[in-house]
Structure formats: C-alpha cells, structure tokens
C-alpha cells in the first residue's frame, strides 16, 4: 500500500470523530523541529557551540566526522558542564504560536499522551500560558528522573487528563540524552509501555524518527500514523516502512508540515472561531490570537449573567476590544466586518460556545468519575483478600481514588451540575 499525502482538514475531522465517539485520542510525538520557532537551537547551532567548547577546528571534517567528534566531546563533559552549556542555548526560548495552539488542543481533550524527545520547557510553559495547572490538568514524567514503576502507574490513571513523557531528559532535572549510546534503548518495562502507546493512532510532528530507542518501539501493526514534517518521510527508513503498512497513514509536508502553521491550522479546523480577520502576512495569526484571548477573558467575566445582559455588555465593549487590538498590533486596517456591524451575533455565538464548552466539560468529568468509582470498586474488592504485606499499599490507592472522586465532584459543583448521588459500596466492601 503506497503512503498517501494527507491534509489538515481530514485529520481534524478524524480527531473530532474520535472525541465525539469517546475513542482514545491520537498519541502525539514531538521532536526538535517543534521548538525551532520558539528560539530553541537546531542541531547545527548545538554542534557549533560544542565545537567552541572543545577548542577544535572541525571545518575540514566531513558531516559524519563532525557528528562523531560532537558526540565524543559531549560524552566527556560532566553533567554540570552539559547543563551550563545547554541552558545558555535554551534559556531565551519562549512558546511559539504553535505551542500555544497545541496547549489549547490538549486542554480541550484532543491529546491525552504526549511523547517528546525535547528537554526544554516550552510545552510546560505553553500549558501554563493557557491556564492549565500542573498535576490537575497535566503531569510531566521524565525518563531516568522518575522511577519506572511510578511512571507506569501514573500513566494508567485517568487523571490528570494530559500526560507528558519526556523521553530524553529535562533541563531542570539535568538529564539530557544526545549520544547514540544514550538513546539506544529505554528501560525494559517502560519500553513495552511506549511501544503500546506508539501502536495507537499517532501524530508525529517535528521529529525525524532517527532515534534508536524510539524506533525500537515502533511496530508494523497498529493505528494510523500521521507524519507531519516539511519533508515527506525518506524511502526505506523505519518510519516510511511503518506508515506504509499501517492502514490509514498519511503524511503532511510543505508549509503545512511546519510546526507553527500545522497547529495553528489544526486549531482553526477543530474550533469554530467566531471572528474573521482580513489581514495579510504572518501578523494575521498574532492578531487573531490577541482578539481570541481578549474575547475569552470578556466571556469569563460575564458567563454567569443573563443572556440580555451579555448582549448589552458585548454591544458596549466590542468596539473597545477591536480598537485595543488595532492599537496593540499597530495595524489600523484590521477588519472584523461581521461583528463590527452585528455585536449581538457575537454575543449569541459566545453564549452558545460557552454552554458547549461547559457541557463538554461536564461529560468529560462524569466519564472520569465513573472510571474512578470503578477503580475504587476493584481496589475495595482486592482489599478483602489482600495479604498483610499488600494491604497498606491498597489502602493508599483507595485513599487516592477517593481524593480524585472528591476533586471531580467539586469541579462538577462549580460547573453547576447537581451533586451526584453518593454511591454506596455494598456492606461487603465497607467493612474491614
């Protein structure tokens, strides 16, 4: 079966369908190409900096010889030396538009597992910028920093809803894998889990898929792979072979394969944005983001008022919002033709969008609640026959499940959902 070129519109429809039908979302894999527009260095820049540190002139060497020397020098640096060198390269990086759009999609339930070989903080910073909270909305696990058993256990739990697995380290943990020896394989049990995740439907963005440890986990059988990169996968590489045999696989290349453009367009396809911006150049995306953020903040201020009050509020402030966006961007030609004339239409769409978001949040929380009650039931049942050695661990897990249930019920109450009836375990499970 020949690998086919796909497009963002088709992928967005597939993602929406999976979400609507309650299927597992696509697993996302990120590589170094995701971070270039955020100010992170490319491989050439890192090699150049290592060359400076080594004091050697590598200009007369071939590309392969330069890489070999790079790995040699890097392998002889202490952890502190590596940290100081790499931190200086990454410290000024800030989340790009693509990262912010990715974070919004994760917050909206379109991604559950994100595997990244990057050790910068761009993804975590983007999560924070869109209002996500660590350990409540997302969790980050670092291979070799966090215990293998802990990572495996946390990946099984439904909360937090987004889980990031940093495969090659993290700057703050001073763990960074570069050399072929360092990225040869994962710990055995973790490798199996990663292979299971990579057997699901995948979206791979900004990754060349040349890392030995990651490629060891790619299986020929599994869900569709969407490979997103400015260039199509090279013939006869492992990722090319996998995408050719896994049904429904496609690649997206060219401008749409660029990280920022891909996630900005994907976001636009997945969410009905109730404004249109007529402007040329890359500033259009930046202007759109400013307006969306401003409107979202206005919606948050008024979401508990009546429909009439909302319409009046928007009608009185929409002009101010537009003028502020023009001032911030310095582009007087900015036009929002539909809503400059009809602010009531914007108010209505905002109300409908807000109610849609609230409804989806409630559905998601109820599903999580059912999962935690099921977990609690199983643990209570296991407790009855557990040995004295295992029982304390089960009791701890039971308390954790009860705490998660309490948090979810609080969130449901905040959303105005009637408090759920207290579920009672049978006497069999409430004794002892």
Region of residue 151 (left: phi > 0; alpha: psi -120 to 50; beta: else): alpha
Contacts of residue 320, defined as CB under 8 A and 6 or more positions apart, other chains included, come to none
| Closest by CA position to 178, among listed 187, 190, 189, 169 | 169
pLDDT (tens digit per residue) in 1-11: 567 899 999 99
Q: How confident is the model at residue 314 (pLDDT cuts 50, 70, 90)?
A: low
Tell me what pLDDT residue 296 has. 56
Residue 277 contacts residue 284 (beta carbons within 8 Å):
yes
Tell me what pLDDT residue 53 has. 64
Tell me what pLDDT residue 42 has. 67
pLDDT (tens digit per residue) in 126-168: 999 888 999 999 999 999 889 999 999 999 888 899 999 999 8
Tell me what pLDDT residue 306 has. 53
Tell me what pLDDT residue 421 has. 45
> Does 305 have pLDDT greater than 60?
no
Tell me what pLDDT residue 227 has. 95
Tell me what pLDDT residue 279 has. 31
**Over pLDDT 90: what percentage of the chain?**
23
> Does 18 have pLDDT greater than 60?
yes
> Does 401 have pLDDT greater than 60?
yes
> Does 273 have pLDDT greater than 50?
yes
Q: In the 8-state DSSP scheme, what is residue 234?
A: P
* More reliable by pLDDT, 430 or 269: 269
Scored b (16 or more CB within 10 A) or e, 292-308 reads: bebbeebbeebeeeeee
Tell me what pLDDT residue 293 has. 55
* More reliable by pLDDT, 397 or 51: 397
Q: In the 8-state DSSP scheme, what is residue 205?
A: E
> Does 389 have pLDDT greater than 60?
yes
* More reliable by pLDDT, 362 or 122: 122
**Over pLDDT 70: what percentage of the chain?**
71
* More reliable by pLDDT, 209 or 293: 209
Tell me what pLDDT residue 59 has. 66
H helices present in 330-390, as ranges: 337-341, 343-385
| Closest by CA position to 346, among listed 291, 268, 305 | 291
Ranges 51-60, 85-94, 187-196: which has the least confidence: 51-60
Tell me what pLDDT residue 77 has. 75
> Does 353 have pLDDT greater than 70?
no
Angstrom distances, CA of residue 143 to CA of 98, 146, 183, 193, 234: 25, 6, 11, 12, 29
> Does 29 have pLDDT greater than 80?
yes
pLDDT (tens digit per residue) in 319-333: 665 555 555 444 444
What is the chain's mean pLDDT, rounded? 77
What is the Cα–Cα distance from 145 to 150, expressed in whole angstroms?
A: 11
| Closest by CA position to 257, among listed 238, 296, 231, 276 | 231
- Provide the β-strand partners of residue 139: 163
């Amino acid at each position: 079966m020949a690998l086919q070129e796909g497009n963002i519109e088709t992928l967005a429809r597939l993602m929406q369908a999976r979400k609507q039908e309650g299927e597992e979302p696509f697993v996302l894999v990120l590589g170094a190409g995701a971070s270039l527009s955020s100010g992170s260095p490319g491989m050439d820049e890192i090699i150049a900096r290592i060359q400076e540190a080594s004091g050697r002139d590598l200009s007369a060497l071939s590309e392969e010889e330069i890489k070999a020397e790079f790995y040699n020098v890097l392998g002889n640096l202490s952890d502190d030396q590596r940290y100081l060198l790499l931190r200086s390269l990454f410290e000024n990086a800030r989340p790009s538009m693509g990262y912010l759009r990715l974070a919004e999609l994760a917050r909206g339930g379109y991604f559950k597992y994100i595997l990244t070989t990057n050790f910068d903080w761009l993804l975590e910073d983007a999560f924070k910028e869109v209002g996500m909270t660590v350990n409540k909305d997302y969790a980050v696990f670092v291979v070799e920093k966090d215990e293998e058993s802990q990572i495996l256990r946390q990946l099984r739990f439904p909360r937090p809803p987004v889980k990031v697995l940093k495969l090659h380290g993290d700057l703050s943990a001073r763990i960074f894998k570069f050399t072929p020896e360092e990225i040869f394989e994962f710990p055995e049990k973790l490798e199996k889990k990663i292979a299971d995740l990579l057997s699901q439907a995948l979206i791979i963005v900004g990754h060349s898929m040349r890392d030995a440890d990651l490629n060891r986990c790619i299986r020929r059988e599994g869900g569709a792979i969407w490979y997103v990169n400015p260039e199509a996968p090279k013939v006869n590489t492992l990722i090319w072979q996998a995408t050719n045999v896994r049904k429904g696989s496609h690649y997206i290349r060219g401008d749409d394969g660029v990280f920022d453009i891909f996630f900005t367009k994907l976001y636009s396809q997945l969410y009905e944005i109730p404004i249109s911006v007529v402007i040329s150049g890359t500033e259009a995306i930046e202007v759109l983001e400013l307006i969306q953020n401003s409107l979202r903040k206005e919606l948050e201020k008024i979401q508990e008022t009546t429909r009439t009050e909302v319409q009046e509020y928007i009608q009185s402030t929409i002009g101010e919002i537009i003028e502020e966006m023009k001032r911030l961007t310095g582009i007087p030609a900015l036009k929002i033709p539909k809503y400059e004339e009809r602010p009531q239409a914007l108010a209505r769409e905002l109300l409908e969008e807000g109610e849609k978001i609230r409804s989806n949040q409630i559905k998601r929380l109820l599903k999580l609640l059912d999962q935690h009650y099921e977990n609690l039931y199983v643990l209570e049942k296991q407790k009855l026959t557990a040995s004295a050695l295992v029982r304390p661990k089960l009791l701890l897990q039971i308390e954790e499940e009860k705490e998660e249930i309490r948090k979810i019920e609080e969130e449901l109450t905040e959303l105005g959902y009637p408090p759920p009836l207290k579920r009672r375990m049978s006497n069999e499970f409430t004794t002892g």
